[in-house]
Each structure stands twice: as C-alpha cells, then as structure tokens.
C-alpha cells in the first residue's frame, strides 16, 4: 500500500500533462503530497494524448487533488508565475520541485536553427534554474527541500572515432548539450546549497522511457531491451524527492539508483510492485 511519506508536503511537477511528469505527479499524490502540475496543454494537444485535465483526474483517482497551472516555460515571464501560484493554490511554500518539462528536437547540427536551439535551452536549462531560484528562499527558511531535475543519457559524449551513435546519429547533440548543462548546473547548485538542507539532484533513465512524446519520436525504432518501464523511472524520481541531505549535487541513473538503494518498483498508485523489466 502507499506509505503516505509525502503527507504534508507540497510539490510542483512541470511537464505534467503526460509522460514522466504526469506519472510522477500521480505517484507523489498517491503517497500524500499536495501537487501543483504545470504544462501548456490544459485540455487537448493537437498531436499527442494527455493534458493537465487528464492528469488532475488521475491524481484524484489515487485520492489526491491537483492545482493546475497553465504556463509556457519557454517564456521567462510566464514561468515566473509557477512557484508563487503553486504556493497560493496549495496553501504554503513548496517542498518539492520536479523539473521534468523538456523540449526535445532532433536535427543535424549543420542545419539546426538558432530559434530551436534557443528554445531548447530556455526550457531545458533556464526554466529549471528559474523555478529553483523561486523555490529556494522558502526551502532555505525551513531548512529542507528537494529539487529533482530530469536529465537524459544523451548528455554523455560519443566515444571515437569511429563513433557509435545509435539510430538517432548526432541529431540529439543540441538536446544532449542542454541536458549536460542541466547536470552541471545541478551539481553546482547542490554544492552551493550544501548545508542548507536543500537537496538538488538529476536523474536520467538508463533505457528509453516511452512517454507519449518519446514514443512518437523513436518508439518504432526501439527493441524491447532498450525500453525502461515508466514505473522504474518514477520510482527513482520519488526516491530523490525524499532523499537525505548528503545525497545532493549528483547525477543519477534510474535503474542504478534503484539497485543502489535496494528499492522495489511500485505502481503509480503506490500499491503494487511493477515487473523490473530492463534491469
């Protein structure tokens, strides 16, 4: 059964209309957290399933309630509203921030437009730091807080030559660069805040997690052993939402963290143990 370990805590989850963000919000709510979910899609997306309304319904189905905040995280003024509005809606300062929202566009670097490059860094790097900066003062006042940034294995360097790049080739270069920057920022912020009780970490999947967006991009090109269950990625995220102060400033891999901590992988309702495929 769900433990209730997040009872009394308030969480913000970005990119929560679908995928990892939606699943993380449901799992946090199932264990007692009050959650504020944010994304651009309130009702329907033109090409992908999932919306904030859908996620709020899933949260209610596990006994929680969700405050919904429509925001475009590529816009600095828009994202400045998120943490204050979440605190108002949830009735107090934010304890947990899960920076999951991401822009993933794959293209040859020789023709990658500046507009798209700027968009990815706005959403994948600047927005997580802006939201963290908004949440940190009250976390510092209370002497604890958890910031979890969702990263990607595309941040790693290709080794070579010859280079083995997989079926996406070098097209993930800009996306990976933004996630590499996110990892470095996380490490520095964790070091800066060491001793305050605020934990700052990133976590990336070991294999592909087939969110709706990822499935649309690369789902038909993946073999079963290249896919990680959504529940496993979420298990790693929620572990970092409740980690001790000494675990901070680190870059984690989901299944490796689960093995390190000896965790069981639970369903999004916190009640059943999901099969550990991909481990």
- Residue 212: the pLDDT is 55
pLDDT tens figures, 88-97: 999 999 999 9
- Residue 166: the pLDDT is 78
Of 163, 229, 182, 164, residue with least CA distance to 20: 229
- What residues are labeled active site? 175
- Residue 206: the pLDDT is 87
- Residue 277: the pLDDT is 47
pLDDT tens figures, 111-126: 999 999 999 999 999 9
- Residue 24 CA to residue 237 CA, distance in Å, equals 7
- Residue 168: the pLDDT is 82
pLDDT bucket at 278, cuts 50 / 70 / 90: very low
pLDDT tens figures, 134-170: 999 999 999 999 999 999 999 998 888 998 877 788 9
Does an H or E element contain 253, and which?
strand 250-253
Range of weakest confidence among 34-38, 127-131, 207-211: 207-211
Please enumerate, as own/partner, the contacts of 137-140 that have beta carbons within 8 Å and a separation of 24 or more. Answer: 138/87, 138/93, 138/94, 139/93, 139/94, 139/95, 139/196, 139/197, 139/198, 140/193, 140/196, 140/197, 140/198
**The residue to which tokens 């999951």 are assigned:** 100
Instruction: Assign 3-class secondary structure to 157-224.
Output: CCCCCCCCCCCCCCCCHHHHHHHHHHHHHHHHHHHHHCCCCEEEEEEECCCECCCHHHHHHHHHHCCH
- Residue 38: the pLDDT is 98
Q: Are strands 66-70 and 145-150 parallel, antiparallel or unpaired?
A: unpaired
Given a contact cutoff of 8 angstroms between Cβ atoms, the answer to whether 131 and 14 are in contact is: yes
Pick the more confident residue, 277 or 198. 198
- Residue 131: the pLDDT is 98
Q: What angle do CA 165, 101, 277 make, to 5 degrees?
A: 60
pLDDT bucket at 46, cuts 50 / 70 / 90: low
Which of the following CATH numbers is that of domain 10-261: 3.40.50.720, 3.30.450.70, 3.30.479.10, 3.40.50.2300?
Answer: 3.40.50.720
- Residue 271: the pLDDT is 65
CB-facing half-sphere around the CA of 159: CA atoms within 13 A: 0
Whether the pLDDT of residue 104 is over 60: the answer is yes
């Amino acid at each position: 059964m769900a433990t209730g370990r997040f009872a009394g805590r308030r969480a913000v989850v970005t990119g929560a209309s679908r995928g990892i963000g939606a699943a993380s919000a449901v799992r946090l709510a199932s264990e007692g957290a009050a959650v504020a979910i944010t994304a651009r899609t309130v009702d329907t997306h033109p090409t992908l399933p999932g919306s904030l309304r859908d996620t709020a319904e899933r949260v209610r189905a596990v006994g929680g309630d969700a405050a919904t905040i429509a925001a475009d995280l590529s816009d600095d003024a828009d994202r400045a509203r998120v943490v204050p509005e979440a605190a108002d809606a949830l009735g107090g300062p934010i304890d947990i921030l899960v920076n999951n929202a991401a822009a993933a566009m794959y293209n040859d670097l020789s023709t990658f437009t500046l507009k798209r490059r700027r968009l990815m860094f706005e959403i994948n790097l600047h927005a997580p730091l802006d939201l963290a900066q908004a949440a940190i003062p009250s976390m510092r006042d209370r002497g604890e807080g958890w910031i979890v940034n969702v990263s990607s294995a595309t941040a790693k360097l290709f080794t070579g030559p010859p280079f083995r790049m997989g079926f996406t080739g070098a097209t993930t270069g800009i996306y990976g660069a933004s996630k590499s920057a996110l990892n470095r920022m996380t490490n520095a912020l964790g070091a800066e805040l060491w001793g305050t009780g605020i934990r700052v970490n990133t976590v990336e999947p070991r294999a592909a997690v087939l969110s709706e967006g990822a499935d649309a991009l690369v789902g038909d090109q993946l073999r079963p052993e290249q896919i990680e269950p959504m529940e496993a990625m979420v298990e790693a995220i929620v572990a970092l939402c409740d980690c001790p102060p000494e675990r901070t400033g680190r870059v984690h891999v989901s299944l490796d963290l689960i093995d390190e901590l000896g965790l069981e992988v639970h369903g999004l309702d916190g009640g059943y143990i999901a099969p550990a495929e991909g481990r």
